[in-house]
Amino acid sequence: MELKENKINWYTRTVKDVTQYFNVDSSKGLSSKEVKTRLEKFGPNQLKESKGRTVWDMFFDQFKEVLVLILLISVIISIFLGEAGDAIVIAVILVLNATLGVVQEFKAEKSLAALKKMTVPDALVMRNGKPTKIKSNQLVPGDIVLLEAGDRIPADLRLFKVTDIKVQEAILTGESEPVEKNSNALEQDKIPLGDRKNMAFMGTTIIAGRGEGIVVATGMDTEMGEIAGMLEEGKREPTPLQQKLNIMGKKLGLLILMIVAIIILLGCIRGIEFFDMFLIGISLAVAAVPEGLPAVVTIVLALGVQRMIKKNVIIRQLPAVETLGATTVICSDKTGTLTQNQMTVKILALPDKTIEVEGEGYQPFGQFYHSSRTIQPSDDLTISLLLKGAVLCNNAILQQNSDNQQWEIIGDPTEGALVVTSAKAGYQKKGLENEYPRIKELPFDSDRKRMSTIHRSPEESFIVFVKGAPDKVITQCKYYMENGKQKEFDDSAREKVFEQNKKLAASALRVLALAYRKLNDGEENGLNQKLKNEDIENDLIFLGLMAMIDPPRKEAIHSVDTCRKAGIQPIMITGDYSLTAKAIASQLGIYHSGDRIITGMDLENMTQEELEKVVLNTTIFARVSPRHKRRIVRALQKNRQVVAMTGDGVNDAPALKESNIGVAMGITGTDVSKEASDMILMDDNFSSIVAAVEEGRKIYQNIKKFIQYLLSCNLGEILTIFCAILIGLPRPLIPIQILWVNLVTDGLPALALGLDPAEEDLMNQMPREPDEAIFSGKMGFNIFSQGIFIGAITLVAFILGIRNYSLEIGQTMAFATLSFSQLWQSLNSRSPRLSLIKLGVLTNRYLILAILISGSLQLGVMLIPTFQQIFKVLPLNGYQWTVVILLSFSPIIYVEILKLFGLTYKK
């Protein structure tokens, strides 16, 4: 990449130079007043978006459909043949159709824009002297950004505090190897991006370590912004569902055009003028093909997305809405999703005693009890070291929210529980970190399952604190503390601790082990070099176990029950012990007697084929690593399951991408997991997934409803004309009447069906098959049987009119019967199973309003003299209106009878 000469090469500047340039104290950050000034000067931290489609773009796009172009040609031909009246009416209807399309697309664009606005990622910064979470678009040059593994870099940063940071920069450099970072100024000028070791660039991802950086460029001034400025506007791609519907429309169009060609040929053979048959044929083509269907689908999906936002679900991809309705398995993390995410330490299990801790949530107040007596933790050396280690080997922060004065945790909830517990004993994080400054950190990872930090003690020696999974820490320990004295950690003592851990885990408690040791002189001298993990994390002194609980969410119990009734299998996937997982899963109703539990060790010893055979009988996967999740997803998919998988960590990203629906956590999730997901839970709540599945089912059912409605009505129009000409009758409808029917029936009622409320037993139905065709479940039969019926009654009305009165009366009766019968048909399309009586006629107020508006417009055409002349209709007498009303209402009776005998749905 070429370097701009006018850009400051921040990587050559010292940290002091950079802080002075931006006039910022790296320990306090910027003040709110200064941020406001800089935001006005530099603007928001966001890339300029390509110019969106204007209303005029949307309007003219409505005329790009092939059949609409054919209709435009017919307008031109009509003018040349002197039929100006017909041409004007057809042109007006075309404009109205285009306007309706613009309104639909504009609503969809607004819905998607609102969604995009809500998905702006967060950044953790120092503002006014304390850590503050903000939207990344509010970053300004000079901001101090706090970074952890899993974060996506929100702007271009000059790093000044680095603890083992590795950054994946493939998005900028194309190199797959992560880059190790430091804070040292570079001497060489004009070097490639990949060699700027002290810089972190917008859009890249931290995969390990933690640190801090100063924002040196935002928005279009970043390296990413420079690339964005070179990019051309991308092509708008239709969703898979839209593509499927477009293919269906084209196939239907070819079939209908063949019928139209036959109609024109038959009409000409019978001596009807070619121009009249040409207009009828073209009008039929436009009326019969649901060219507006993709737009209707888009707006229904987009409105569904908006409804999901109110249910704390952000859908990142519209097609995910469709897939949600077919979900058969929900693989959920335990912590925070099925539970309250308010970890609270209940027990300190030392080798020689057990301490009970009183207090709930994040309140830093409570008592410590031993044998029902209150104790002071600072009086016991082992407890004191345990609690100090819990705070120092920890990256969480306990603070009061400035808005509501509630205590909150910034960072990992489990780490937060340790900080809160220590605070209850009087050990404040800030004071301890000043007393024991951190020298080095070995971050937690999913393979070691532990974290270590090295600190300088007040005696000027160095001390290591280690915390992590008990089995991973205990195996590294050589000694333990008892009554303040160091003892050999023999097999008997070790077995006793393992037994303590087992009992705690069986009580649904999450257990962490803590240990420590002092570094010897040789190790202290090697601190400036790269000491390996095994050099530090060995010969440890075991301090004790800290057991905490994260209670199940009350609403999750109901949601799990809903899943079961809906044919959806909930599966718990956790890094906890199987005993802990089983206790929580049993409370929630996920685990039942006879269900299988598979551990990470079991998975390691299983082939993928073996896993595929047992995965459907397994409700708990315990002690698994993120890479196991991917295997679980694949095994479920091999069994034809549609899988929703939750995740919040960096390493969860592959499983989220592999699953049919990747679900990221909005509160605890990393940016990497959010980017890999299809949907984000704003409240990290399992119940929100279930609510989204229900919404997805409803949306898919509604899409099928208006497809059936449109196609059955269009088929009725085709058959009316085709059969009349086939049996030698005059044309029952003229072009203007056909186009009017198309406008009235394809517009408001179809859209209103997309807003139909869910059936009461929707979540008691089994999930649909993932590869289910649109016409499945007797939908094809319903379209043809109901379309034939509408065509037949329209033809009956026409024949009664021409036999007893005149051609004009017959056409008027056919026109009225076709229009009103299609409005009644919209009620039939609400459910293939349930009768209108059970559904309730008034339960979809949007549809009733659409029928009233469309019916009023049709009556206006029939009764107002000016419109009677334009549409060439005659006033009808009482008998004729009686025939029209009875015939147009008959589809209701016909379909209700079919439903009664179970002919409209697959049993």
**What is the rounded distance in angstroms from the CA atom of residue 377 to the CA atom of residue 358?**
13
Annotation says 333 is catalytic: yes
- The four Cα atoms 714, 716, 718, 724 give a dihedral, to 10 degrees, of -160
> Distance of CA 251 to CAs 72, 156, 421, 775, Å?
22, 51, 67, 14
**What is the rounded distance in angstroms from the CA atom of residue 887 to the CA atom of residue 814?**
10
Helix (H, G, I), strand (E, B) or coil at 68: helix
**What is the rounded distance in angstroms from the CA atom of residue 192 to the CA atom of residue 3?**
9
Residue 236's CB is within 10 A of a number of other CB atoms, namely: 6
**What is the rounded distance in angstroms from the CA atom of residue 447 to the CA atom of residue 449?**
6
**What is the rounded distance in angstroms from the CA atom of residue 391 to the CA atom of residue 429?**
6
Instruction: Choose among 354, 338, 336: nearest CA to 346.
Output: 354
Q: Catalytic one among 151, 221, 333, 684?
A: 333
* Assigned token pair, 404: 């509501």
DSSP letter at 195 equals G
Three-state secondary structure string covering 780-842: HHHHHHHHHHHHHHHHHHHHHHHHHCCHHHHHHHHHHHHHHHHHHHHHHCCCCCCCHHHHCCC
Buried/exposed 249-285: b ≥16 CB within 10 Å, e otherwise: beebbeebbebbeebbebbeeeebeeebbbbbbbbbb
Burial of 681 (0-12, 13-18, 19+ CB in 10 A): buried
Tell me the longest C-alpha to C-alpha distance in the chain.
114
**What is the rounded distance in angstroms from the CA atom of residue 338 to the CA atom of residue 357?**
24
Structural contact between residues 384 and 360, judged by C-beta atoms closer than 8 angstroms: no
* Assigned token pair, 455: 């600190």
255: CB partners within 8 A, 6+ apart:
none
- What single-letter amino acid sits at 655? A
Query: Rg of the chain over CA atoms, in angstroms?
Result: 35
Please give the positions annotated as active site: 333
